[in-house]
Amino acid sequence: MKKLLVILFLAGAVFACSEKSSDDSAKSAPAKKEAAPVDNGKGVGEITNVTLNDPLNQEMVTKGKAIYEMKCAACHKLKGSRIVGPSWAGVTTRRKPEWIMNMVTNVEVMLEKDPEAQRLLEECLTRMPNQNVSIGDARDLLEFMYQNDIDNAK
């Protein structure tokens, strides 16, 4: 039953994303020409500074894991290769925390204006759907991503 639900969710996500992708292709083409390159590595959005916890806040890690399982696991693996979206393995070493949070909370604008997000779209061929993740939930997800990278390094 669980596998059936996952398959149905994946099929729905792919269908929803492919519909939106074709509708947005004409709209997003001119935006790419006008978009100024983002060179600070923080992406485009409300998040401009993130204070990281050292050591990690385990309550946030637990909340982030629950959010991942509910909203992200269908498209993103924690280690290994990608499913639909890229694997989360090593993401905290490849991206600044602000970029990660902006991508999670501001996906449409990031895909329009951020060169790295556009490169990922070309690689994955599917737009990341807006999951309506709040800034607080995005911060919990980020904490979980750091824990995942620590666990994968062991």
Q: Are 74 and 11 in contact (CB under 8 A)?
A: no
Is 28 a residue whose pLDDT tops 50? no
pTM for this predicted structure: 0.74
Confidence of residue 34 (pLDDT cuts 50, 70, 90): very low
87: left (phi over 0), alpha (psi -120 to 50) or beta: beta
Q: The tokens of 75 are what?
A: 């498209």
Is 143 a residue whose pLDDT tops 50? yes
Half-sphere exposure of 59 (CA within 13 A, CB side): 1
pLDDT number for residue 22: 42
Give the model confidence (pLDDT) of 38-77 as tens digits: 459 999 999 999 999 999 999 999 999 999 999 999 999 9
Give the model confidence (pLDDT) of 90-139 as tens digits: 999 999 999 999 999 999 999 999 999 999 999 999 999 999 999 999 99
Q: What domain count does the chain have?
A: 1
Alpha helices (H) along the chain:
2-34, 58-67, 91-94, 97-105, 107-113, 115-124, 135-153
Is 25 a residue whose pLDDT tops 70? no
Give the model confidence (pLDDT) of 74-96 as tens digits: 999 999 888 899 999 999 999 99
CATH number at residue 107: 1.10.760.10
Give the domain range for residue 12.
2-153
Cis peptide, bond prior to residue 55, ω within 30 of zero:
yes
Is 33 a residue whose pLDDT tops 60? no
